[in-house]
Amino acid sequence: MTGASAPIGITDLAFATAHFSLDLQQLADHFGIDVNKYYVGIGQSEMSVATADEDIVTMGAEAAAQILARHGSDGIRTLLFATESGIDQSKSAGVFVHGLLGMGPNCRVVELKQACYSATAALQFALGVVARDSREKVLVIASDVARYALDSSGEPTQGAAAVAFLVTADPALVEIEPITGLHTDDIHDFWRPNYLSTALVDGKYSLGAYLRSLEGAWGEFRSRGGVDIDQIDRFCYHQPFTKMAVKAHNRLCTITGSDLDADQRRAQIDASLAMNRHTGNSYTASIYVGLISLLERDEADLAGKRIGFFSYGSGSVSELFTGIVQPGYRALLRDADDRQRLAGRTPIDYARYRALHENVDAVQGEDYETAVETPGPFRFAGVVEHARQYQRC
Catalytic residues: 84, 116, 238
Nearest to 70 by CA among 164, 1, 145, 3: 164
Alpha-helix runs per DSSP H in 149-279? 203-223, 242-255, 262-273, 276-279
Contact assessment for residue 44 and residue 245, using Cβ atoms and an 8 Å cutoff: no
Burial tier of 351 (Cβ tally within 10 Å: 0-12, 13-18, 19+): exposed
- Name the residue among 158, 19, 126, 141 with its Cα closest to residue 83: 141
- The SS3 assignment for 325 reads strand
Distance CA 228, CA 238 (A): 20
135: left (phi over 0), alpha (psi -120 to 50) or beta: alpha
User: CA-to-CA distance for 239 and 163, rounded, in angstroms?
Assistant: 14
